Amino acid sequence: MLPAGDRAFMEKMTQFGDMPTDDFRRYGYEIVDRLADYFERIEEFPVLSQIQPDDVKKALPTSAPEFGEAFSAVLDDVDNIILPAVTHWNHPNFHGLFSTSTSSVGVFAEMFAAAFDMKAMLWRTAPASTELEDVVLDWLRQMTGLPDIFEGIIYDTASVSTMHAIAAARERADPNSRKSGLAGRADAPRMRVYVSEHVHSSIDKSVITLGLGLESLRKIETNERFEMRAEKLAEAIEEDIAAGILPICVIPTIGTTSTTSIDPVAAVADICEKHGIWMHVDAAYSSSAAILPELQPLFDGWERADSIVMNPHKWFFTPFDLSVLYCRDLDDLKKAFSLVPEYLRTDDAASVKNGMDYGIQLGRRFRSLKLWFVMRYFGRAGLIVRIREHCRLARLFASWVNESPNWEVAAPVPFALVCFRAKAADTDTANSLNEEIMRIVNSSGKAYISHTKLDGKITLRLSVGSVHVEERHIEKVWRLLEAAFEQAAK
Ligand SMILES: *Cc1c(COP(=O)(O)O)cnc(C)c1O
């Protein structure tokens, strides 16, 4: 038997309906307080979660509760079980991978979006989401300096945006593939997608998913600055065409994942135009820097693309997830994906935009709201100031590396990522030295850096991009690295 008080609580929890709005209000204020404390105290947390695998699982029951629990108990578990298992991407000393962070207004937008819970499949099911998406994507297009022919659509990630671009490219090159597929078709040529050796792995996954196969991906050699060699691309395409292979897409990257190198987009565009091949530009990381007038030249040629991917969730203070695919002609996507079942047929289809026509997803989250909040709260000038400062801090860090006898910069620094490494007598010694330095820094919990391999050499990466980052954080990570060098070199 349950004690009388508990029985009353359980009766309440088995009644119909949602949490009473009075409780919602009370917990809502409490949650905002907790989040404000979190942002204020974030530097006290270890950047990388220090827990062991399975710690979270072991702390939780193996099945869901039979009766609802007091929500305060859930919030306590957020503090006790979830928080220690958080790797703090919003920590200003998160410099690994790409340093991405959310702004406060981004958090607010997610609250509204969850409350409205609209699914933007049809204009009618989500007019605000559908129209705001068009408005903010046009704002972003203007800020990044793209011509007004480009129209965008929001997806979750760059991986998915790029997969849609390749699907549209395939549709253009081989319209039969939509109906007949690729498997078992005698008239289907081997198709080819061209990228550089430094391409993001999501593109490998796209060709797997689209049934093109990994052999359809041709990785073009890069130069000493890790940029695609355009003359090698031209040769590869000629060779493939002569062998009866159908080139469908070339994907130059502006800001590759390892080093943020920049493929020669204008030269690639010349080659694509000559052969009528779709050019998709991967600017997932770098596109935020296109709002800086002084960095516009780095984007030269992208205005000639058929499609471009940008990730505001990377370096535009917009919480994950929000990726944008811009197309020169959005109808290309529609041709590849539009399919209207009877229950979704509407009489306004010709006059409105229905998000479901442009991709795989039917329901789509109200993501544009957070980008709108970010753009309105910071303004173009505010965004420029922050991104420009991140680039300055990266160059400053690179100058310290360059001035030190123990270290070297390993790649150009066009944006806000520095590739660098500790020097040693030979490659093997240097590799183990750098791995040890990274281990020491990351296990300290005081900062997080990541690595890549360039020409066989382990190379450390410092990304600057958090909305919270200041010069003192960069000084701090430099001190940590110097100390780790002393310790590891002994
Ligand atoms: C981060 C990144 C991606 C993948 O981004 P997701 O949104 O996580 O899929 C793709 N390309 C480049 C160049 C990137 O930097």
Using alpha carbons, select from 377, 430, 314, 322 the residue that is nearest to residue 104: 377
Instruction: Please name the residue whose Cα sits nearest to atom 4 of ligand 1.
Output: 158
Residues 409 and 338 in one domain: no
Residue type, 87: T
Mutate-to-test residue for ligand 1 from 155, 161, 198, 202, highest number of ligand atoms within 8 A of CB: 202
Domain CATH code at residue 446: 3.90.1150.10
Residues 250 and 394 in one domain: no
Residues 465 and 353 in one domain: no
Q: Report pLDDT for 410.
A: 98
CA 264 to ligand 1 center in whole angstroms: 19
CA 457 to ligand 1 center in whole angstroms: 23
For residues 68-79, average pLDDT: 95
Q: How many domains does the chain have?
A: 3
Residues 359 and 391 in one domain: no
Using alpha carbons, select from 291, 286, 320 the residue that is nearest to residue 103: 320
3-state secondary structure of 355: helix
Cβ–ligand 1 distance for 285 under 6 Å, the answer: yes
Whole-number Å distance between alpha carbons of 458 and 477? 19
Cβ–ligand 1 distance for 253 under 6 Å, the answer: yes
Whole-number Å distance between alpha carbons of 400 and 483? 14
Using alpha carbons, select from 148, 129, 96 the residue that is nearest to residue 366: 129
Nearest atom in ligand 1 to the alpha carbon of residue 283 is 13
Residues 138 and 222 in one domain: yes
Cβ–ligand 1 distance for 286 under 6 Å, the answer: no
DSSP single-letter state for residue 82:
I
Instruction: Flag whether 104 is in a domain.
Output: no
Of 342, 365, 388, which closes a domain?
A: 365
* Residue 187 CA from chain centroid, whole number: 37
DSSP single-letter state for residue 343:
G
For residues 184-201, average pLDDT: 93
Instruction: Flag whether 108 is in a domain.
Output: no
pLDDT in tens, 366-378: 999 999 999 999 9
CA 347 to ligand 1 center in whole angstroms: 38
Do the Cβ atoms of 143 and 291 come closer than 8 Å? Answer: yes
Cβ–ligand 1 distance for 257 under 6 Å, the answer: yes
Do the Cβ atoms of 252 and 223 come closer than 8 Å? Answer: no
Greatest alpha-carbon span in the chain: 83
Domain that holds residue 146: 119-365
Tokens found for residue 91: 């920590």
Cβ–ligand 1 distance for 311 under 6 Å, the answer: yes
CA 157 to ligand 1 center in whole angstroms: 7
Instruction: Flag whether 113 is in a domain.
Output: no
pLDDT bracket for residue 3 (50, 70, 90): low
> Which residues lie across from 280 on neighbouring strands?
307
Instruction: Please name the residue whose Cα sits nearest to atom 12 of ligand 1.
Output: 284
Mutate-to-test residue for ligand 1 from 200, 203, 324, highest number of ligand atoms within 8 A of CB: 200
Do the Cβ atoms of 417 and 463 come closer than 8 Å? Answer: yes
Residues 151 and 281 in one domain: yes
Whole-number Å distance between alpha carbons of 468 and 340? 45
Q: Report pLDDT for 435.
A: 98
Tokens found for residue 300: 């030269």
For residue 164, which phi and psi values (nearest 5 degrees)? -65, -40
> In which residue are the tokens 């193996």 written?
62
Instruction: Please name the residue whose Cα sits nearest to atom 3 of ligand 1.
Output: 158
Where does residue 369 rank: exposed (0-12), middle (13-18), buried (19+ CB within 10 A)? buried
Number of helical H runs and strand E runs in the chain: 16, 11
Q: Report pLDDT for 444.
A: 95
For residue 286, which phi and psi values (nearest 5 degrees)? -75, -20
pLDDT at 360 over 60: yes
Domain CATH code at residue 66: 1.20.1340.10
Cβ–ligand 1 distance for 100 under 6 Å, the answer: no
Using alpha carbons, select from 252, 236, 306 the residue that is nearest to residue 278: 306
pLDDT at 14 over 80: no
Higher pLDDT, 361 or 12: 361
For residues 77-98, average pLDDT: 97
3-state secondary structure of 218: strand
For residues 50-55, average pLDDT: 96
Cβ–ligand 1 distance for 158 under 6 Å, the answer: yes
Residues 161 and 244 in one domain: yes
Q: Report pLDDT for 447.
A: 98
Domain CATH code at residue 299: 3.40.640.10
DSSP line for 459-471: EEEEE---TT--H
pLDDT bracket for residue 348 (50, 70, 90): confident
pLDDT bracket for residue 4 (50, 70, 90): low
Residues 308 and 206 in one domain: yes
Mutate-to-test residue for ligand 1 from 285, 315, 320, highest number of ligand atoms within 8 A of CB: 285
Nearest atom in ligand 1 to the alpha carbon of residue 323 is 7
pLDDT at 211 over 90: yes
Q: Report pLDDT for 210.
A: 95
Whole-number Å distance between alpha carbons of 319 and 370? 8
Q: How many CB atoms are located within 10 Å of the residue 388 CB?
A: 17
CA 150 to ligand 1 center in whole angstroms: 21
pLDDT at 1 over 70: no
Residues 123 and 11 in one domain: no
Using alpha carbons, select from 81, 20, 86 the residue that is nearest to residue 48: 86
Of 88, 108, 134, which closes a domain?
A: 88
Using alpha carbons, select from 443, 219, 442 the residue that is nearest to residue 451: 442
Whole-number Å distance between alpha carbons of 103 and 357? 31
Do the Cβ atoms of 224 and 455 come closer than 8 Å? Answer: no
Instruction: Flag whether 187 is in a domain.
Output: yes
> In which residue are the tokens 């935009």 written?
353
* Residue 459 CA from chain centroid, whole number: 22
Of 312, 337, 365, which closes a domain?
A: 365
Whole-number Å distance between alpha carbons of 353 and 364? 13
CA distances for 401 relative to 141, 219, 482, 487, angstroms: 36, 31, 10, 18
pLDDT in tens, 121-161: 999 999 999 999 999 999 999 999 999 999 999 999 999 99
pLDDT in tens, 254-297: 999 999 999 999 999 999 999 999 999 999 999 999 999 999 99
CA 283 to ligand 1 center in whole angstroms: 8
- Residues 6 or more apart from 73 whose CB is under 8 A from it? none
Residues 79 and 217 in one domain: no
Residues 237 and 355 in one domain: yes
Cβ–ligand 1 distance for 287 under 6 Å, the answer: no
Instruction: Flag whether 16 is in a domain.
Output: yes
CA 301 to ligand 1 center in whole angstroms: 20
Instruction: Flag whether 141 is in a domain.
Output: yes
Q: Report pLDDT for 376.
A: 98
Using alpha carbons, select from 95, 64, 9, 101 the residue that is nearest to residue 468: 101
pLDDT at 46 over 60: yes
Cβ–ligand 1 distance for 157 under 6 Å, the answer: yes
Where does residue 306 rank: exposed (0-12), middle (13-18), buried (19+ CB within 10 A)? buried
Cβ–ligand 1 distance for 323 under 6 Å, the answer: yes
Residues 139 and 193 in one domain: yes
